[in-house]
Structure 1
Amino acid sequence: MKRFFDLLLAIAAAVVLALPIALAALMVRLTSPGPALYWSDRVGRHNRIFKMPKFRSMRIGTPAVATHLLQDPKVYLTPIGSFLRKSSLDELPQLWSILVGDMSFVGPRPALFNQDDLVALRTECGVHELVPGLTGWAQINGRDELPIPEKVKLDVEYLRRQSFWFDIRILWLTFVKVIRRDGVSH
């Protein structure tokens, strides 16, 4: 049921958002050298590595670490990078990851391939059994600002409470957070 919902919603979103997706890609290409998409190595279900696309908001050559680990993340942003991140438009290419089954609309956010502490704690708690999501319970309860143990605690809560209606609630709360630009630090 969840996979069917993901496919249906991803196809509908891709059709409705085709113009904004095309415009965002064009703006990335026009404002900085390099490709419009950045393919990030992420940890998926069962700790399998997959390539997750995002609109490139950082300059070519930025270290492949979580943004909060960069000494001064703003130095690495492209001219429209901050806007893409604060509006969450950089996340739109992840519709592809949902269509191919690497991600779901709702689940724990996929860890970077080198976030060993996050991956280990999620594995210990059984969260690695879930398909990662475009948004999740931890996302709407702190996003970039959560320490790893708190993030995993919320991921475990999602693992225990997951249902269609809980996913709908998380999607609605995500929409509200994106509109308000809550929890985005860079």
Structure 2
Amino acid sequence: MLRLFDFIFSLLGLIFLLPLFIFVFFYGLFENGSPLFIQKRVGKNLKPFLLIKFRTMPKYVRSSGTHLIKNIKFSSFGYFLRRTKIDEIPQLWNVFLGDMSLVGPRPCLYNQRKLIYERKKRGVFKVRPGITGLGQISGIDMKTPTLLSKTDQKMIKNMSLYNYFYYILRTIYKIPS
């Protein structure tokens, strides 16, 4: 049932946000020559997939978790994209393809070994990674892998249609808990 909602909402999002996508793509193309950032991430059942985002940092920045990069240098437009979460819009394509869900644990990198270990232990990889979830709306990031994994596990255990929409609305409208 949730996959059906993912499919419908990602398709609608791709259609309605197409003008914004095109604008950001070309602006990024002129700003740094590479508007999209594509990175291999850990998916459902530990299967790799290519996550797509708008590029927010210069091309020379190494591929790593943002929390692992010292002295982050966002491009001028990239800072705006990151702050407004517009950089996440291309992930709707990942949702449409079935690599991700709108709601689920944020996909990690293969070099985040502690997080992978903690998530394996708690069965988090049994579901598709998501654009948003309980960790995101709770302000928990990948700097705290054990806490994030426990939060992901709690989200998966309590997933329902109500919670699916609740997490999405909390993400969009920053509704207090």
Q: TM-score if structure 1 supplies the norm length?
A: 0.90
* Partner Cα separation in structure 2 for residue 135 and residue 89 of structure 1: 13
| 2:61 matched residue in structure 1 | 62
| One-letter code aligned to 2:84 | S
Say whether 1:114 aligns with 2:111: yes
- Return 137-146 or 7-16, whichever deviates more: 137-146
Q: Percent identity?
A: 32
Q: How many residues align?
A: 176
SS of residue matched to 2:76: coil
Residue from 133, 158, 161 that aligns with 2:130:
133
1:19-38 alignment to 2 at 5 Å? 19-33=19-33, 35-38=34-37
Structure 1 residue 53, shift from structure 2 partner: 0.4
Give the direction of change, closer, same or farther, for the CA distance of 1:146–1:165 in structure 2 (3 Å limit): farther
Structure 1 residue 144, shift from structure 2 partner: 3.9
Q: TM-score if structure 2 supplies the norm length?
A: 0.94
Runs of 4+ in 1 over 2 A off after TM superposition: 143-146
Residue from 152, 156, 159 that aligns with 1:155:
152
Preserved CA contact (<8 Å) 1:32 1:79: no
Instruction: Give unpaired runs (5+ residues) of structure 1.
Output: 181-186
| 1:184 matched residue in structure 2 | none
* Partner Cα separation in structure 1 for residue 24 and residue 150 of structure 2: 34
Give the direction of change, closer, same or farther, for the CA distance of 1:143–1:24 in structure 2 (3 Å limit): farther
* Partner Cα separation in structure 2 for residue 55 and residue 143 of structure 1: 22
CA-to-partner distance for each residue in 1:34-59, whole Å, 9 max, x for gaps?
x2111111000011111010001111
Instruction: Give unpaired runs (5+ residues) of structure 2.
Output: none
Preserved CA contact (<8 Å) 2:135 2:141: no
SS of residue matched to 1:80: helix
Q: How well do the aligned residues superpose, as a CA RMSD in angstroms? A: 1.6
* Partner Cα separation in structure 2 for residue 143 and residue 17 of structure 1: 28
